[in-house]
């Protein structure tokens, strides 16, 4: 019995600067509040890092959170194929690769650090 396989198209959405550009056009600044609790050790660590960069705690935390949020969202992939597209894709995967002399030469070349 052959198990059904699922293959999905990659859809990646680009998030930049943690800002919705349309919302930013109609906004005069930061209008939302985010509250959170932290231990004294966490607060001291965050304050030291923010101070090292010459930034406020809020700016440092917001920038750090946005960078992490962008990273998480950019790592997400959504895949979806119709049955017909999946069959075509699976048949391509099942075929042996075409001869590629350049790739063969590259794979046979020693890395610079191994020479």
Q: Where are the domains of the chain?
A: 21-110
CB atoms within 10 A of CB 47: 13
pLDDT band at 79 (very low <50, low <70, confident <90, very high): low
Tokens linked to 97: 């690769």
The per-residue pLDDT for range 48-75, each reduced to its tens digit, is 999 999 999 999 999 999 999 988 888 7
Contact 66, 17 (CB under 8 A): yes
Tokens linked to 78: 């959504």
What distance lies between CA 44 and its chain's CA centroid? 29
The per-residue pLDDT for range 1-22, each reduced to its tens digit, is 555 555 554 444 454 555 554 4
pTM of the model as a whole? 0.47
Nearest to 47 by CA among 37, 58, 35, 33: 58
The residue to which tokens 């859809």 are assigned: 11
């Amino acid at each position: 019995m052959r198990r059904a396989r699922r293959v999905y198209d990659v859809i990646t959405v680009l998030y930049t600067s943690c800002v919705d550009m349309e919302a930013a056009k109609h906004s005069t600044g930061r209008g939302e509040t985010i509250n959170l609790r932290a231990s004294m050790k966490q607060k001291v660590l965050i304050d030291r890092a923010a101070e090292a960069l010459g930034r406020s705690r809020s700016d440092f935390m917001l920038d750090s959170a946005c960078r992490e949020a962008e990273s998480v969202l950019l790592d997400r992939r959504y895949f979806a194929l119709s049955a017909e597209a999946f069959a075509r894709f699976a048949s391509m995967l099942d075929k042996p690769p075409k001869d590629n002399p350049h790739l063969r030469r590259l794979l046979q070349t020693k890395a610079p650090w191994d020479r």
